Structures are given as C-alpha cells and as structure tokens.
Structure 1
Amino acid sequence: MDWWKKKKSRAVTKKQRLVLGRVRGEILSEELIECCDGKSNPIKLFSAADITKATNSFCICSRVSQLFGFERWYSGTLHNHRTILAKKLWRAQSVFPKDFYPEARDITISSMVSGHKNFMKLAGCCLEIETPFMVYYGSEKQYSTIDLKMVVSWEKRIKIAEDVATALAYLHTAFPRPFVYSNMDLRNIVLDENGVAKLSDFSYCVSIPKGQTFVKLDYVRGAYDYIDDDYKISHVVSEKTDAFGFGILMQKLLTGEERFREICGRKDRKTLVKRKFSRLLSKPMGEGRVDEIVDPRMLEKMGEVDEEERFQMEAFLVLSERCIGLRGEVPKMVEVAKQLKRFCQNFFFR
C-alpha cells in the first residue's frame, strides 16, 4: 500500500501547486491590467517541472554566488538550450495570496522594461512552486553585483551612475503613468559582462495616477539610507523619491560606502527625526581636499588627481546634492541622465 500512499501524496501536492499557481496567476493578471492600462502584455509561465529540470533540481552547483542573496539565484538551461537565471522570490514563500502582491509587481514591471538596455531581460516566471521564481535570459558569467571595493575606476563609477539614471528616467517617462522605483540600493544593481548597469527588483515600484504628481502610502519600504523625509515621515512617494535615492547612490559612488558612513553617519531606523543633509562633502571638495572625500581605493587607482578630474568630481557632487534637495529645485531624472552622459563623453574625448 506504500506505493498507493506515495502516488496519492504526489497527486495532492500537484493539485496544491496548480491551485497556488492559479491564485498567483490571478494576482499577476490584476497587476498587468493595472500597470499596463489594460493592454496585452503576455508573460510566459514556466511549470515547476521546467524550472526543476533547468536548474538540475536546484542543485547547489546551480547556485549563483556572484549575485546578491546567494540562495536566491540559480543558473540553468531550458529545453531549447537557452541559458537562464532563476531568481527565487523569497518574500512570496508564504501561501497567503497577499504576500505575493510585491512579487507580482516585480514580475509585471520587469516584463514592461525588459527590452531596455538598463534592465535584465525577463523570460517569464514560475508560480506553482511553493516559493515562486522569476526567470531571466542570461548566464552565470554574464552578471555580477557591484562591489565598490572591486569597482575602483572613476570612469566606471560614472558610467554606473549614468546607466542607473537612464533606467530611472525610463520608468518616469516611458509609460502613460510614471513609475517610481522607490527601492534604490547598490544591491539591486547588477553589471553585465560589458559593464552595463541594470536595475532590478521592482517589488516596491509605485504607479503615479494620471494627473497626479505623488501618492501617499500606508507603509515605508526600502533601504533606510536612500529614503527621503517625505517618504519616511509622511509616506509620500513622487519622482523626487527616486531623485533623492539616486543622489545618495551618487555620493556612495564618489566616497565609497565606508567613508559615506563616516562622513554622513546613519540615524536609527526607528527614529523618525528629520535628517539634515548638510553640505558635508562640498567644502573640502571645493577647497581641493579631495583625499578627505573620495574613496581612497579609487584615489589609489587614479594616482594624482588632475584639475580636470577634480572639477568633474566636484560637478558630480553638486549634481548629487541637487538630487537630494540641497541646491534649489530637485532635477528630473531625464536631466540628470543627460548631464551624466556628458560626463561620460568627456572621458571618451580625453
């Protein structure tokens, strides 16, 4: 009778997977209708068998160590021999439908931006496994996270900033309604084999209704360093939310994370006291004391900083302060991306 019990157990498990997949599929359809304004945007659904076979039953040898969250990423090969990266959606491992909504938003936005060079190319998703997966085209060797201890080239860091600004500008302008990323974090940016930065994880992406410039939420999510006061205190999300987070990213690219902590400090996450971002970096930079501000690893790589490089770093810092809101009106991300593109072109013509 043991064989009968096992067969019955497998049948129950398969039925549960199908029910779970159907419920999640309905949530995903709701997100697609909302975000795509009812327009068709089909997403390929992989079966549990497809993903299990492609990743060799989620074998340890299939895990991708270069990407953030060691246990979350697997490499594999589909039946048509295309290589994939499968991301485990750990927030949705609960069977409760409401826990899948952030992941449904991630899948939906990823499918909408998939053709842009500064986003990973989505192949589809698998919803019927207890912990669902997003599936991207690509190989293990194709992507890596950003480690500022390793990325010590000033030129490469400016290029990363330009790529991320371009991605944010695309989210803000490419669709009938702007999408605010609101999840800035170095860990959410990957580099491809050509050094092109790609933004990922749209779980906290917010849609701004037509005719509006902001929305007010019931919650605050994201990495504390990158959250502006309007969002943190008033729960107000707008395009300025992304500009602020990007301004902090720029400062970290310039100073390195350790020096950023030393200079700017970090408030207690539980304290909702308004942060004061004084121009702690501008004065020494303006006085030529570059070594007090810039990431020492980057300075070591550069050797002696010439006047043109110092001027560019100062302009980069001023732009970051404009994004944070320390220098007049906060710029649109389209403007920021254009200015960073000019920085990159200056490197090319040097």
Structure 2
Amino acid sequence: MEKLQCRQVRSLFFLVIMFVFIRIGEAQSQSFLINCGANSSVNIDGRKWVGDLVRNSNVSFSSTGMAASTDSLSGDSIYEPIYKSARIFKDGLNYTVEVIPGNYIVRLHFCPIPLEDLNVNDSLFGAAANGLKLLSQLSVPGEIAHKNLYLQSSGENASSLSLIKEYVLGIKLDVLVIELIPSEGSFGFINAIEVVPVVDRLFEDTIQKVAGNDMDFNLSGRGIETMYRLNVGGPEIKPSQDSDLWRMWEVDSSYMITANAGVEIRNSSNITYASMNDSSLAPLLVYETARTMSNTEVLEKRFNMSWKFEVDPDFDYVVRLHFCELLYDSANERIFKIYINNRTAANTFDVFARAGGRNRAYHQDYFDAVSSKTYTLWIQLGPDTAAGASGTDALLSGLEIFKLSRNGNLAYVEKYDSAGNSVSRSKSWILWVGIGAGIASAVILAAVFTLVFYIRKNRRDKSSDMKNNSPGWRPLFLHKGIVNSTANAKGTGSQNPNGSTSSTRSGKRFTLAEIRCATNNFDESLVIGVGGFGKVYKGEIEDGSLAAIKRANPQSEQGLAEFETEIEMLSRLRHRHLVSLIGFCEEQNEMILVYEYMANGTLRSHLFGSDLPPLTWKQRLDVCIGAARGLHYLHTGAEQGIIHRDIKTTNILLDENFVAKMSDFGLSKTGPSMEHTHVSTAVKGSFGYLDPEYFRRQQLTEKSDVYSFGVVLFEVVCARAVINPTLPKDQINLAEWAMKWQRQRSLETIIDPHLKGNLSLESLEKFGEIAEKCLDDERKNRPTMGEVLWHLEYVLQLQEAWMHANDRENSFSGCQALAEVEEEREIRNGKEVPTLDEEKSK
C-alpha cells in the first residue's frame, strides 16, 4: 500500500514538473513583434512582424493616431522593411499586449520617415510601460544625430538613421501596456515594438558595488534600460546571431579612448559556459573574440585599455563585463585590475581562476551610482603588477551597461538641436561659467567686507559688545512657544530652520473662534464622520465655501505626531486625487484640520451600511482608478516616495462628481532611501487591511500599501466589511474568503448582487486577477501601484466596450421591432391598424 502511494506521489510530481516545463516553453516561444502603422506582416531573419492593423487576439492599440509609410529608406538597417511604416500620434497612444507574467525584453524602434504636413524634426514625446516612465521629451532625429556625431568624433564612419530603445521589465500581471505620450503641442511616432520573453534570469539581486562589498539592490523589482552592448575585439553581432534574445552587439573601437591600446585576438575552439545559468547572458560568439593589451612593456606597465561612454546623470548603473581566457592554460598568468569611473572595482582579477579554465565563458557585474553632475562613465582595464603574474596584461570579451530605474522612472530629458548638439549640457556649461564668475566676485567682496569689519570691530564700544554676546540670548526658533504664539494668525505658519514640520506648513492658520463659527460651536448635527483622530464636522468658512473640519479627540490614540504628519504631508503634496488641506488650528490645546469638503462622503458609505444607491460597476472602477492614481503619485512623486499606511474605503472620499481622493495621512511615512529596501517601524494601520509581511517583520514598503489596496478592491466588488465576526468562520476575513473564490476563478459567485448582470465578466475576471496579485504573501511578487493603475484602466476599457456593445444591440433590437410592427400594419388590407404605442397600451 505504501509503495502504491509513493508511486502516485512520484507520478503527480512528474506531472507537475512537465506542466511547469510546458508553461516555460509557451512563455519562451511567445514573442510579440508589432509592425506599427502596417496592415500586413513582414518576415525578417525568420521572424514575423505583424502589422498593428492585422487582427490579433493578443495585441491591441487605442484607436488614436494615423498610419504613415514610405517607399524607400536610405541606409542598410536589417529592419528596413518595418521602418517603412510608422504610427503617428498627436494624442496618447496605447499598445496593450497580453503576456504570461515574467521578465521581458521590450524594444521600441524609431526611424524618421517623411510625413505629410508634419516635420519629423519637430516631434517630441515620451513613453511608459505599465506605469514605469521610459522616455520623456524624446527627439528621435536629435538623438540619432548626436550619436552619429559622437561616433564620428572617435573616427567611426557613422550613418545610423534609426534608434532602438531596449528595456528589461519584470511584468507581474498578464498585460503589458505601452503608452506613448506626445509633448504639449507636438506629436510622436513609432515604427515597431518588440516584446521578447526572458526565461533565464538575466540579473541577480546581489551584485558587487564599485569600491564596496556585495549588496542586495533588488534589481528584479526595478526597470532596466540597456544603454550599451559591445562585442569587444570582434565584429558586430546581428540579432539573428543572438537567436535567444535577438540582441545587437556593437563593435567597441569607437568607444575606446585609444583604439590601438588593445589588440584583437580570437579563438574559434569549442567554448563553453562556466555556468549553465549564463547561457542566456551572451551568445558564444561574444567570447570567441577579445581585446588584450598592446605595448604592455611601455610606460612602466601602467598603460590601460579605456572605454568612455555617455550616460544619464543621477541614475544607478550595472556594468557587465564578459570574459573568456583564450590563450593561457593555467591560473596566475594573466592578472589585472578593473576600474570604473576612476575607482577600483576589482584587484587581482584572474579570468582563468574565476571561470574554472580556458575557453570558459564568464561574466562579472558591478553596481555604480552616477551623480547628478556626471555625464560619462569610464571603464578601464590594466595590469596588476603587484600580483606576481607571469604576464602583465588584461583581457575583455564583451561589455554591457544597464541603467536602473529610480522611483518608477527611467527617463532623462536630454535636448538636442537639429545638428545633434546637446542643448541642456551647453546651457549647463554656461550656467557653471556664470556660477564660477559669481563665486570669484563673491570672494573678492567678502575679502573687502572682512577688512572693513575688523577695522570697525576694533573701534566698537566694549559694553555694546558684551550686550550683544549676553549668555541669555537664544535664536528665536528655539523658543517654540514664542514662535507659535507670535505667528500671524492668518499666515502660513512658522518658519523653523531646524526643519520641523512647522517649517513646511501651508494653508491658512484658523483661529478657534473662526472654527467655532464655522461649525456652530461644534454642533453635533453637523458631524459627518468619526475616526481614530476624532469627529469630522461639515462647516462653512468665511468665504462661504464648505469644508470638512476634523477635530482631535483628547483621548484619541492619534495625537501631536499624527497632527504634524498630516499637515506636513498635505502641505507638500498636491494632486487631483488627494484631498486638499485648507488650513489648521492649534489654539487652547485644540488640534483641528480643515479640508476641502467631499460632498459624497466615503467610498464605504456607497458600498454597504447606508441607504445610498449602489454604485454601478463603471463608477466603482472609476473610483478605484482615481484612488490608484493618488497612491501612485504618493509612491513616486517625492524623491523617496511616501507610504500611506492606512488605505481603506473610509479613507477614500468622493466629491460631488464622484471623483475619488485619498485622505487621512496621519500615519504616512517617507519611503526607504536608495540604500534600503524598507522602513523599519512599529506596525500601524487598520485591522483587515494590514500587510501580513509588514505585520510579521515590521518592515514597511510601498508594497504594504499595495496589499491594503488589494483588500479595498475585493471590498469594492463584494460590498461587505473586511472583518465581519457575525459570519461563518471561513467568511469572517474578506481577504481570505475572496482569495479562496478568486483562486477557483469563481469570483462572480460572491460579488455584490447589485452588480450581477450589469458588468462584463471579462472585466471582472481581470479585476480579480489584479486584486489577487496585490494580496500575494510576498511583497516582491506584488505589482507596483503604477502597474495596478494601468491594469485597472484596462479593466475599465473592457467594461466600456461591453456597455457600448450592449447599447448598440439594444438599439438595433428596438429599431427592428418598430419596423416589424409598421410592416404588419401596412399589409392588413387597409384596415385601421393600431400604432406601436397603441399595441403597447393593449
């Protein structure tokens, strides 16, 4: 019996393994090649590029924009067939691709073509993918011209007429939405989009920092842009020669400071990967050639091979170096140093020892942060004479540079003129010259004033000097009570050089008398809400406008810290989907906040527990999208981002037009800095919405907000409390109960009865999938708020399409019925036939 059970377990295990491999195979084969602006397909190197006008169940685009084409192109790009067409857009243009969640390489192809009534040199636009900003104010002709100038300055005969932007994206949901956004008053264009799945992992989270130790940078959670990819010491490698991922590998000579500093070598013997996990990182062709140092005996053996690259300032970068020892048969024969931006990245680097032998392909990654004033990245390899190697040499086979996103952004605005010259950098140079001249003038003036000061000091009256240095004097900002009491009653608050929250306050400082007048002395009939902070009153302030006035309860658990946090956050945050702070009052131990009035109250009041009419499915989606936009702004609008920490349906307010706005920022926290992955803090929030990983580890991240928002999504569709002890045990917790049905793909079983028959089941299915992703136990698997936002907008599109189809069908049915009645009336041989209205009255 036990043997039979073991066989059954083994059989089940093998079936699971086979299923996983089948899914991997499906993902690996499912590439999407979109020929924009075309109504037919084109084959290039055995790959089929499908026109975006060709019906495709997996790819769709918004109906904005127009197609353009040309008969011929100059240049010899392998992509010439797909560059003859393009899609032009003056408004936002979205491409939606249904994918299997995973990692993908996304390439955007741009090639300027002649356009009617438009000058392609005037185009300026941006791009985003699932909420991640990829491009901003891109001028394709300007960037192409600039690259050609850069390569020509190195002696390269450059004639590139196209631009390819490549990104590595981790997609956690089953839809990739690429949005193209023209700059104000301008337009944009795109020729092709390439979406290629990556089965093997391209990046490890833990890599070595330049001049530092190995660190966890969570690369899988960040967007990545490929800046450079070079086949060092060898010819150009075309995409068809890198068949797994179809990458282009440039020659490296044009990026070298001294081209003859390294000599090219090659070895076509059987090269293998040092690790099978590296097989997708580069094709073996990269490792068959290399560049080693020439003239190694000159300049006291301090001569380096050097490459210089233009990069975007104020971003983090991963430098990937590819090696393969092609000559030596043992260790300690070629040992060298690696420098990145003039800092030592590695000493005593021995390729043979690290790779485990000759003809073994090996790579090494380094992490480096580039400052806001740095526009170049240098990579240098040179001999390590102190290592005792028999040969003083260095070797490199390939080189890649990747830019990492910061706060959901990969875009950098670099403006070029029509000749390809950088406008922003030239302005920056003029600015620095002006600053330098100003500093020099300031130094001269300071010297003059210092001389005058010392002369007058010697003549100064002693008693006056003692008075000015009396030990009783203190800076005014240290006397907090004096500052608060002497502040202008109608001003913007005190200025505190210590950087306390009072220095960042904005809005009116109300007197307690004004608050009492606005609320009829805190009339209980004006109470519109009660929360942890206290009661909220509907009031009318002096200009006649309505306001929501929140008065702290002295016994409230939320005290001064929450009061200050609320003012600080709302003083520096302005967004259509965040409730606005009008002002505050802090007289006579009162803590009162005055907000814009939200006529339709809380989202929860429209879901259950009141007599208000239920919201339609479209209204609920609009509210969720508005709240997601507000949260996405919180997470990405500030340098470090802001974590709300108390997302729930009572903190989502609706104005008179049912526009959703996030409120209650008393528990909000500034997000982690770039050096950290989380904020360590005590657990706060509302029971039922709390992220379990935050609860267990007391580690707060933006993904904690994502979890809470996932609970809100289920609350919206089910219209019930998140915790209801009166229900059966398995239904008490909404998140657990809804997830059980969602995993069975039967969410429609438990939705709000008011929604049944009034929503698209396809939109409900996608909605449930988003909520399920948000509630993943591990925060690294949850989407960002930007991704949630994009997919909610896709759900809304599905619902609107369904509504439109239903309206059209109902309209057609009504017209058909009318025609049938009229026809019957006419054929009744002259009898008085009742009209349609008379038939209905009968």
| TM-score (norm. length: structure 2) | 0.33
- Which residue of the other structure, out of 650, 653, 662, is the alignment partner of 1:187? 650
Q: Which amino acid aligns with 1:137?
A: E
Superposed displacement of residue 257, structure 1: 1.7
* 2:514 is equivalent to residue 50 of structure 1: yes
Question: What is the DSSP-based 3-state SS (H/G/I as helix, E as strand, rest coil) of the residue aligned with 2:661?
Answer: strand
Q: CA contact under 8 A between 2:576 and 2:661: conserved in structure 1?
A: yes
- Following superposition, which runs of at least 4 residues in structure 1 exceed 4 angstroms of deviation? 18-21, 27-32, 68-71, 258-264, 275-279
* 2:796 is equivalent to residue 334 of structure 1: no
Look up the match of 1:9: none
- Which residue of the other structure, out of 769, 780, 786, is the alignment partner of 1:318? 769
Q: What whole-Å deviation, never above 9, does each CA across 1:313-332 have from its counterpart, x for those lacking one?
A: 11101111111116982111
Question: What is the DSSP-based 3-state SS (H/G/I as helix, E as strand, rest coil) of the residue aligned with 2:740?
Answer: coil
Instruction: Say what the alpha-carbon RMSD is for the aligned residues.
Output: 3.6
Q: Which amino acid aligns with 1:135?
A: V
- Separation of aligned partners in 2, 1:228 and 1:241: 5
- Cα 1:95–1:187 change in 2 (3 A) is closer
Superposed displacement of residue 297, structure 1: 3.1
- Cα 1:32–1:194 change in 2 (3 A) is farther
> Residues 251-330 of structure 1 correspond to what in structure 2 (within 5 A)?
251-257=714-720, 264-266=731-733, 279-286=739-746, 290=748, 292-299=749-756, 302=757, 309-325=760-776, 329-330=781-782
Superposed displacement of residue 279, structure 1: 4.2
Superposed displacement of residue 310, structure 1: 1.1
Q: What whole-Å deviation, never above 9, does each CA across 1:33-67 have from its counterpart, x for those lacking one?
A: 4679x8x5533211112211222222234x143x4
- Which residue of the other structure, out of 589, 592, 608, is the alignment partner of 1:130? 589
Q: CA contact under 8 A between 1:285 and 1:293: conserved in structure 2?
A: no
Superposed displacement of residue 19, structure 1: 5.3
Q: CA contact under 8 A between 2:763 and 2:799: conserved in structure 1?
A: no
- Separation of aligned partners in 1, 2:511 and 2:555: 19
Q: What whole-Å deviation, never above 9, does each CA across 1:154-178 have from its counterpart, x for those lacking one?
A: 1111122111111111100001111
- Separation of aligned partners in 2, 1:155 and 1:32: 48
Question: What is the DSSP-based 3-state SS (H/G/I as helix, E as strand, rest coil) of the residue aligned with 1:136?
Answer: strand
Q: What whole-Å deviation, never above 9, does each CA across 1:197-247 have from its counterpart, x for those lacking one?
A: 111111111112421231111x21111111112211211100110011111
- Separation of aligned partners in 1, 2:537 and 2:637: 31
Normalized per residue, the structure richer in strand is 2
Question: What is the DSSP-based 3-state SS (H/G/I as helix, E as strand, rest coil) of the residue aligned with 2:539?
Answer: strand
- Which residue of the other structure, out of 59, 79, 98, is the alignment partner of 2:523? 59
Question: What is the DSSP-based 3-state SS (H/G/I as helix, E as strand, rest coil) of the residue aligned with 1:225?
Answer: coil
Look up the match of 1:110: 570
Q: Which amino acid aligns with 1:316?
A: F
Superposed displacement of residue 108, structure 1: 1.5
- Cα 1:345–1:231 change in 2 (3 A) is same
Unaligned 5+ runs, structure 1: 1-17, 268-274
Q: CA contact under 8 A between 2:763 and 2:798: conserved in structure 1?
A: no
Q: Which amino acid aligns with 2:484?
A: R
- Separation of aligned partners in 1, 2:510 and 2:600: 22
- Which residue of the other structure, out of 75, 78, 91, is the alignment partner of 2:538? 75
Superposed displacement of residue 190, structure 1: 1.2
- Separation of aligned partners in 1, 2:597 and 2:647: 23
Question: What is the DSSP-based 3-state SS (H/G/I as helix, E as strand, rest coil) of the residue aligned with 2:507?
Answer: coil
Identity of aligned residues (%): 23
Look up the match of 1:272: none
- Separation of aligned partners in 1, 2:630 and 2:567: 17
| TM-score (norm. length: structure 1) | 0.75
- Separation of aligned partners in 1, 2:799 and 2:648: 26
- Cα 1:258–1:204 change in 2 (3 A) is closer
- Separation of aligned partners in 1, 2:625 and 2:548: 25
Unaligned 5+ runs, structure 2: 1-479, 488-492, 805-842
Q: CA contact under 8 A between 1:158 and 1:344: conserved in structure 2?
A: yes
> Residues 108-187 of structure 1 correspond to what in structure 2 (within 5 A)?
108-113=568-573, 115-138=574-597, 142-146=599-603, 147=605, 148-149=607-608, 150-187=613-650
Bigger radius of gyration among the two: 2
- Cα 1:279–1:348 change in 2 (3 A) is closer
